[in-house]
Structure 1
């Protein structure tokens, strides 16, 4: 353990990143300066938890941006379809113009005609043409308004998606900056202090059970494949925002493992915690997703015997731990 003088040299740096994270998440909370190395370790652990929450907010923002981009694409398609309908009236508009020119010639002819029957016939013809033209122009007017509105909707949707993407980029840059500062603070801790942080955030790692026995105890071949895929990642580093294959965050690992069974999960612990059916602690089966905290900001995969595999936290590789971790909030069965 470092002495107090050594520990205090980096307290300012640890405090700065932690205070920044606290301001973003709960502006009213004041952060007291630590006075011991143990307090500093606790402070770094709190920062790690806050960054996990921010990471989840980024995942949620990605889902929102993707939905807005899809909405913009759909609006653009509707605008193109509306314009195509409008363009379809072009031959009829040309016919109207041609008919108008012909009608003018006919009008001049029947006005000088000495036959009353010819006058009546010409008037009837002109009335029919006028009625047809009026109806057609009304249709074209409706099509024009629809095309204009569709273009306006598409432009608005595209602008909203672009603004959301720009905000997402800003948030990601901000979180990455905080992550870098957190990593530097974590590295300043002694090995014992780092162990305190890890235990606080994720609990101690346990020896992985034999994969074959875990797979054999799974309720289905698909669940067995999920567990097998997750256990194969044990030892790989925790990487914020990553879904593998060289490193993972928590929801990235679950997404990666479930993809082995052909199931695509959103890269978001909160979104994953809303999938499938709820499962009680006593009814957990291998392959179930377990989630933590409120709001949800961490997930893992249950492997049986009270254990789970998960991407725990920065500085610690993917590992098997007890499922009974701080903040346990529930489980979902997706398969």
Structure 2
């Protein structure tokens, strides 16, 4: 996205004036495309300008699909754990029912072996009728226990049937979530392939200018001074700074590669804080504050749908994972329309 590129003022000193003008025009054209208007100084008929704007749009669409992938994948992981717990519970329930059936089968077998004779009659015909009353009382207790066992067996069978039905519904939901993951993955891969093809179609000098505008490194560190991070925010800021230069990898949350929300989750994990996986969920992972009151460690989400996120590190800068081909880097906090500033 052109809005993810560093402004010409922050580029290296070796960046020529003509290249700076080219990149600035590309950024203006992409911004205008997002707003549905064309900048006054843009040449709407320029093939290279149009191509760059299409590349930026494809990267933006790929990023939105990536966040959809992250959300679906997170849901699938949760469902897999839930299904596993349900299956364990069903297995334990079945074992319990088997034991109950076995115990009842012992009684039934004894009755069968006695020729099916009514136990009360068997006691009456016993050789020692003086003990009849004691045996009859014992028989009553056995019958009560057997009746109770049958009732418990039926209840256990109903519970097991309910658990199996619930597990079946959860498995169906898991399959839907897996299908959503696959769909988002195909969408991301298609958009990125289209963007790469368009980028390769640019003349060499235009492609090099685009690449230079997307390149970042340790020489991009903002000046010292400004707000100081404290506590867990300081640890998260230190972590996100350490990731500068690492590659953008969609669907990844470190430590060797990141997408935008994966970088935020990983950075706060290094501070011992768990935050949600997607940028949309991260927007609501804490207290919202005005942009004018942003402190290092605050999460800054962008666009109305919060499909991109970076971490404010002070001096009007964020660190974020922009898009494929542009590694984790510093950019101005106002690089895109801000959706929210969230203090974790």
How many Å apart are 1:311 and its aligned residue?
1.2
CA distance in 2, matches of 1:121, 1:260: 72
Specify the alignment match of 1:240 in structure 2.
250
Specify the alignment match of 2:322 in structure 1.
312
Answering whether residue 155 of structure 2 is matched by residue 145 of structure 1, we say no
Answering whether residue 171 of structure 2 is matched by residue 161 of structure 1, we say no
CA contact (8 A) 2:65 2:187 kept: no
Answering whether residue 55 of structure 2 is matched by residue 44 of structure 1, we say yes
Answering whether residue 188 of structure 2 is matched by residue 175 of structure 1, we say yes
Q: Which runs of 5+ in 1 are unaligned?
A: 1-32
How many Å apart are 1:113 and its aligned residue?
8.1
CA distance in 2, matches of 1:263, 1:106: 68
CA distance in 2, matches of 1:241, 1:115: 81
Structure with the larger RCO, 1 or 2 (CA within 8 Å, 6+ apart): 2
CA distance in 2, matches of 1:140, 1:127: 20
CA distance in 2, matches of 1:237, 1:114: 92
Aligned pairs for 1:217-256 within 5 A: 217-256=227-266
CA distance in 2, matches of 1:125, 1:245: 70
How many Å apart are 1:34 and its aligned residue?
7.1
Q: How many pairs were matched up? A: 297
Superposed CA deviations along residues 132-181 of structure 1, whole A, max 9, x for unmatched, are: 32222111111122123223322332343244224423431342133122
Q: What is the DSSP-based 3-state SS (H/G/I as helix, E as strand, rest coil) of the residue aligned with 2:275?
A: coil
TM-score, normalised to structure 1, is 0.75
Go from structure 1 to structure 2 and tell me whether the alpha carbon gap of 1:195 and 1:56 turns closer, same or farther (over 3 Å shift). Answer: farther
CA contact (8 A) 1:206 1:322 kept: no
CA contact (8 A) 2:248 2:328 kept: yes
Q: 309-318 or 291-300, which moves further after superposition?
A: 309-318
TM-score, normalised to structure 2, is 0.73
CA contact (8 A) 1:218 1:286 kept: yes
Answering whether residue 48 of structure 2 is matched by residue 66 of structure 1, we say no
Specify the alignment match of 1:4 in structure 2.
none
How many Å apart are 1:96 and its aligned residue?
2.5
CA contact (8 A) 2:248 2:323 kept: yes
Go from structure 1 to structure 2 and tell me whether the alpha carbon gap of 1:250 and 1:118 turns closer, same or farther (over 3 Å shift). Answer: closer
Aligned pairs for 1:1-335 within 5 A: 36-90=47-101, 92-98=103-109, 100-101=111-112, 104=117, 106-109=119-122, 128-190=141-203, 191-192=205-206, 207-209=220-222, 213=224, 217-334=227-344
CA distance in 2, matches of 1:184, 1:81: 55
Q: What is the DSSP-based 3-state SS (H/G/I as helix, E as strand, rest coil) of the residue aligned with 2:220?
A: coil
Q: Which runs of 5+ in 2 are unaligned?
A: 1-43
CA contact (8 A) 1:55 1:240 kept: yes
